[in-house]
Structure 1
Amino acid sequence: MPGRVPVAGESDALRAVLGQNEVLVEVMERAAALALPGWYVTAGCLFQTVWNVVTGRPPTNGIKDYDLFYFDRSDLSWAAEDAVIRAGREVFGGLPGEVEIRNEARVHLWYEAKFGVACPPYVSTEAAIDSFAATTCCLGVRLEPGGAWSVYAPHGLSDVFDLVVRPNPVLAPREVYEAKAARWKSEWPELTVLPWPG
């Protein structure tokens, strides 16, 4: 049911499914070594891994990249973020997939120019995840010290496992949601895409 956080059993199921994507597991392990503030691996690489496993596809099918978000407002310059991105290229070198690193404290500086709507400054990585175009995307995982998995899923995980794409009209415009949903539906035709609210 949307609007709830995942219960322990759901988090365990998510970990079991995501663990089948060896690239994702390696990204998480290397990301933990970077020790970026407030980091999560998030977005498509997570829910698309679930869709692949649920529909019997290879776990990495259709995954374009692996998003790594962090939150550091101590320096909002592009130079500071670029230094982290460059360090990440070294850490994630050799993986069969690109890792996209973004400081979510800086998103408000460029979002309107790219998407045509203003984005208030985020207060955390979780707040950034909350604003994804579809609730299905609102998912983040990270490794805590000691190896435990931390799962952030403000809308629960039912839609993710049930192959439902549900709009999240809090920031991204309708056309962004519809373009993403159309692309996903072409790759995973089993999806149920719910319409943007009227």
Structure 2
Amino acid sequence: MIHSEQELIRLVQSDDWMLDILHVAKTLQLPDWWVCAGFVRSKIWDVQHGFIERTPLPDVDVVYFDPGNPDEAVEKEHESKLFSIRPNVPWSVKNEARMHKMNQMPPFVSSVDAISNFTETATALGLTLDEHDRIVLTAPHGIQDAIDLIVKPTPYYITTPERAQIYENRVRNKNWNTIWPNLTIVHIREN
């Protein structure tokens, strides 16, 4: 079981697959890069459920922040490089300097700002390696919801009925309870 950020970092340090993913992502030398979302969240949920086998990920999200080069084609070049190193990993690379437009949000100021605006608090998590290859965790809303197996929206998604609906649709479409049955899904009530 995971009870703290330090325990999570220790678990990642002992997970050869996760460490390899982080080291491969670092080879791109992207500004403000993180491997995030399900990569971190699923590790926590698997451990909290006592799973021995890793739950397969639909993608491994690598985000970075480069406002000077927001071309989607550049992201695809980065993905190609990652696929050339680890072809069996479902890489997805996104420059958060442009993703606010895709999601009709205010511009982000950094990758951590973007991560803080992911749909669920339990998904708003990222890992990177510092210059000494030490694991760094970002958890703008903390890791308690992920540890406690609670799925709830980040603050942005409770500000309007339209945003709340985005959250509700995502939770329904992800259907995470079929994989992790002990999750508690928090629904947004309409006023």
- With normalisation by structure 2, the TM-score equals 0.85
Q: Identify the range of structure 1 (183-192 vs 171-180) with the bigger mean alpha-carbon deviation.
A: 171-180
Match of 1:98 among 77, 90, 106: 90
Aligned residue for 1:138, secondary structure, equals coil
Give me the TM-score of the superposition, normalised by structure 1.
0.82
Report how far residue 191 of structure 1 moved.
Answer: 0.4
Q: How many percent of aligned residue pairs carry the same amino acid?
A: 29
Matches of 2:47 and 2:153, distance apart in 1? 23
Q: Do the aligned partners of 1:138 and 1:155 also contact (CA within 8 Å) in 2?
A: yes
State how 1:1-198 maps to structure 2 within 5 Å. 10-19=4-13, 21-93=15-87, 95=88, 97-111=89-103, 118-171=104-157, 173-182=163-172, 183-198=175-190
For the 8 Å contact 1:32–1:144, the answer to whether it is kept is: no
Query: What is residue 6 of structure 1 aligned with on the other side?
Result: none
SS of the equivalent of 1:34 reads: coil
Taking a change above 3 Å as real, the CA distance of residues 19 and 53 of structure 1, as seen in their structure-2 partners, is farther
Deviation of residue 66 (structure 1)? 1.1
More displaced stretch, 155-164 vs 14-23 = 14-23
Partners of 1:180 and 1:17 in 2: how far apart? 28
Separation (CA, whole Å) in 2 of partners of 1:26 and 1:72:
24
Note the C-alpha offset of 1:144. Answer: 0.8
8 Å CA contact 1:53, 1:59 repeated in 2 = no
Gaps of 5+ in 2: none
Instruction: Give the count of matched residue pairs.
Output: 182
Range 77-86 or range 31-40, more displaced: 77-86
Give the counterpart letter for 1:78 in structure 2: E
Q: Which amino acid aligns with 2:153?
A: P
Structure 1 gap segments, 5+ residues each: 1-8, 112-117
- The residue type equivalent to 1:44 in the other structure is G
Tell me, yes or no, if the aligned pair for 2:66 and 2:95 is still in contact at 8 Å.
yes
Aligned counterparts of 1:69 and 1:12: Cα–Cα separation in 2: 23
- State the Cα distance separating 1:124 from its structure 2 match: 0.7
Post-superposition, which runs of at least 4 consecutive aligned residues in structure 1 deviate over 6 A?
none
2:54 maps to amino acid = T
How far did residue 78 of structure 1 move? Answer: 2.5
Residue 16 of structure 1: how far off its partner (Å): 2.5
